[in-house]
Amino acid sequence: MYIGFDYGTANCSVAKIENGQPTLLRLEGDSTFIPSSLAAPTRESVSEYLFRHRGIKPLDTIGEQMLRRAIHVNREESIELEAEDMAFGQAALDRYLDDPRDMYYVKSPKSFLGASGLRDAQLRFFEDLVCAMMDNIKTQAEHQTQQSIHDAVIGRPINFQGRGGETANRQAEGILLNAAKRAGFKQIEFQFEPVAAGLDYEATLSEDKIVLVVDIGGGTTDCSLIEMGPSWRGSSDRSASLLAHKGQRIGGNDLDIALAFKQMMFPFGMGSKMESGIEMPITQFSNPITINNVQAQNDFYAFENLAVLKGLHKQAQEPHKLARLLEVYHESLGYNIVRRAEEAKIALSDQATYRAGIQLFSERVDVDVSRDNMIDAIEAPKRKMIALVHDVVAQAGVKPDVIFMTGGSARSPFLREAVQAELPNIPVVSGDYFGSVTAGLARWAEVCFK
């Protein structure tokens, strides 16, 4: 059996073809989407879980050394790892929020796969993370279909997050490929996510059109200008139909981070001053919430930074605010703050104001955010997204007949209005914001494997 597999930054989903149409499969309870997150007792538990409870071995000696070290560390900590100690999706987030102090939690590992400067051990660790998530998804899909799944078309952005260009893209795709093989997939193909979304839209066309696909995902925004319609449908070679495409390593997560930074870090001391009159260093407020940047997270949560934070607390004119930042450090609450920003962003699409409640262990911090605040906060990442639309049309030298917007953040009326302003008088349409890519990947899998 074959599937389309959208290993997304925010959510994952898979689909099969049933009676000629894509059908998304349930992955967590009744939901066909599972958040891209994982929780475990320790960082080392991921490697041990794969080997001990899933029978998945490392691919090379570096992975084997990591596994031996992981087992040793867990034994030193008196951790006897059980299969149920690993949680995925919403269950992982719930477990983390219940006990962030004693839980290893990771969200959106796809954001890190193209990062520069990763050592071999770090690459193998990300491979383990992705493999554990893919294995869980494959298991859930096989349970629903009562069939073994051997083949998959996996979606990928035009450019992964990372500054290494094609080197970063090859690194990220290599991690996905190795993880999928270890999870049990035999034949694996990749397809660009905006092209996949376009393939699903193409199934609705009764005449050929030039379609601009704008896919605003959690970690990336991709634009593809594609010739689509009955003349192309079912073709195994679509290279001639792809007129232009371009991707930017910026997505819905960046909107959430921008809103968190511009509106939610003031109660934690951002903009406040030390007794000397010098303003607090800005990186101490950006690093904890830049959850898609490995180095920023490492810098903030490093043991050495604790002494720096304590020093800032001691010198602060408003020490109670820095005490909250220390709590963010001790309880690893950066993800929590960004999650509250995401909720505010969604709510402000329909209402003028929103009160975000950030729950600390010691207190609840309420932050009032207006729609105007939100629009101002996301202006910089929004401009980068719209620049992609401009660039891909200029690259092709032809305007689209229709704009197809997909991806979770494409629901934002502010982003849709911005795209419409860039290309006025061209109709903007959408399908399943979250499922179009997955459905298109399943359609491409039918072309590849049937």
Q: How far apart are CA 112 and CA 299, in angstroms?
A: 15
**pLDDT for position 193:** 92
CATH topology of domain 207-430: Nucleotidyltransferase; domain 5 (3.30.420)
pTM: 0.83
Q: How far apart are CA 296 and CA 333, in angstroms?
A: 14
Report yes or no: 104 and 31 within 8 Å, Cβ to Cβ: no
For the chain, the distance separating the N- and C-terminal CA atoms, rounded to the nearest angstrom, is 9
DSSP string, 372-427: HHHHHHTHHHHHHHHHHHHHHHHHHTS--SEEEEESGGGG-HHHHHHHHHHSTTS-
Q: Name which CATH class applies to 2-185.
A: alpha beta
Q: How far apart are CA 251 and CA 385, in angstroms?
A: 8
The model's pLDDT over 350-361, given as tens digits with 9 standing for 90+, comes to: 899 999 999 998
Q: State the residue for tokens 């199934």.
A: 203
DSSP string, 280-344: PPTHHHHGGG-TT-HHHHHHHHSHHHHHHHHHHHHHBSSHHHHHHHHHHHHHT-HHHHHHHHHHH
Q: How far apart are CA 395 and CA 401, in angstroms?
A: 16
* C-alpha dist (Å) from residue 48 to 19, 60, 113, 345, 434: 40, 15, 21, 38, 33
- Segments of the chain with pLDDT less than 50: none
CATH 3.30.420.40 maps onto the chain at 2-185, 207-430
Contacts of residue 19, Cβ cutoff 8 Å, sequence gap at least 6: none
Give me the residues paired with residue 156 across strands: 192
- The letter for the amino acid at 258 is A
Q: How far apart are CA 192 and CA 324, in angstroms?
A: 42
**pLDDT for position 162:** 66
SS3 450: coil
**pLDDT for position 115:** 86
